[in-house]
Structure 1
């Protein structure tokens, strides 16, 4: 196997979760990679220098490892953890959807366009899709469910679970 993505045969590449960008086959992560991931999950703004010092490698090694984790699709991006209530999105809900069989890709693309959609998952069980949304208020949530979601032809039914309180779990470190 060749180390550069462009030199891999199509059968060696997996489709990326973000919509068709081919990814190389996953490589095993060692303890240093795991430590880097844990550190960046706790603080995505950590400098290369602080990462290198914490995991006891050179800055060049830390930089190369982080780049490899990004290129391999292990790290999908860097972002801010948002307090949705303080950001004007005080109403949160999990919405379960039953959809037409084999319509996941079509429905997923339409759900991505919804304002406030935060997480979409295809699941097994009594329903097909689990959607997390954040909206400014209950009126906006009602509009999203009754007008936007139920207008998608492949959506057979929905159930809305209002979130009373939520907490993002911080990585242990």
Structure 2
């Protein structure tokens, strides 16, 4: 695996990223005004940040409960050695899995799972996650309250 170097970011880049993190629908003109640069300069910077992979996508933040996903849990997985690549693709195909992280420590993977209710969450954990080839053990941590820090 080739290690990729992170592109150098200056203060203008960081301010652009901050503005777009707060409102991904912000126009280039609005970003330029907030950061105090020209529209052409903002467009150029945003294009470079996107091309460099710093900006990976523009998205909307959704309140899961209001969107009908009233049950959430962090689920940790212990996995069989060398099964990560295949497992990652299978996990990405599960619509209820909203975030996947390969981590170090007492477990190997942590997932954010969002479901319609506890019965649906149970189905995802027992029927999908625990039965996956390569998964040795799971542990579930129910989410009682979500707080968005952005």
TM-score (norm 1): 0.83
Instruction: Name the structure 2 match of 1:77.
Output: 57
Instruction: Name the structure 1 match of 2:85.
Output: 105
Q: Which runs of 4+ in 1 moved over 2 A?
A: none
Instruction: Name the structure 1 match of 2:130.
Output: 150
Q: Which runs of 5+ in 2 are unaligned?
A: none
Instruction: Name the structure 2 match of 1:17.
Output: none
Instruction: Name the structure 2 match of 1:33.
Output: 13
Instruction: Name the structure 2 match of 1:88.
Output: 68
Secondary structure of 1:88's counterpart equals coil
**Contact 2:96-2:124 at 8 Å conserved across structures:** no
- Residues in 1 aligned to 2:102 and 2:56: alpha-carbon distance in whole angstroms: 19
**Contact 2:103-2:110 at 8 Å conserved across structures:** yes
- Residues in 1 aligned to 2:125 and 2:114: alpha-carbon distance in whole angstroms: 12
Report the aligned-residue RMSD: 1.2
Q: Aligned runs of 1:1-173 on 2, under 5 Å? A: 14=4, 25-170=5-150
- Residues in 2 aligned to 1:143 and 1:27: alpha-carbon distance in whole angstroms: 42
Q: What is the count of residue pairs matched by the alignment?
A: 149
